[in-house]
Amino acid sequence: MKYWLFKSEPSDWSWDDQVARGAAGEEWSGVRNNQARNAMREMTAGDLGFFYHSQKDRAIVGIVEVIAPAHPDSTADDDRWLCVDIRAVEPLVRPVTLASVKAEPALAGMALVRNPRLSVQPVAPEEWRRIRTMGGL
């Protein structure tokens, strides 16, 4: 199993929107960055990810599961763009803010700190465990 982080602007697609999709989940579509697309190519059903609210919230708010591996993005006119399907698993007890991630020395190498603009990014197992703890899980 691998771990990931999915960033979304809550005004476009929020944690509550994701939860409302239930077990059917939702396509994580609209990604138009090669590095993020390549990350989705590596995903398999059962992988877990953090759901991150970007812009003003800037916080990890929940955990999602990949329920369908990379496939053509239904919102793209170009077949090189892929997406995965994800479903909400559980909210964090306490959102983990970007500021708190940056303040944690053990997370200094995290992609969220080093490459904050990337919309889909890998999370190392030790980063996953630390953030879950910070989030009250």
Give tens-digit pLDDT for 75-111.
999 989 999 999 999 999 999 999 999 999 999 999 9
- Alpha-carbon dihedral angle through residues 18, 19, 23, 27, given to the nearest 10 degrees: 0
pLDDT digits (tens, 9 = 90+) for 11-64: 999 999 999 999 999 999 999 999 999 999 999 999 999 999 998 899 999 999
Task: Tell me if 45 sits within 8 A of 84, measured CB to CB.
Answer: no
**Residue 135 has which token pair?**
């989030």
pLDDT digits (tens, 9 = 90+) for 112-137: 999 988 999 999 999 999 999 999 99
pTM comes to 0.96
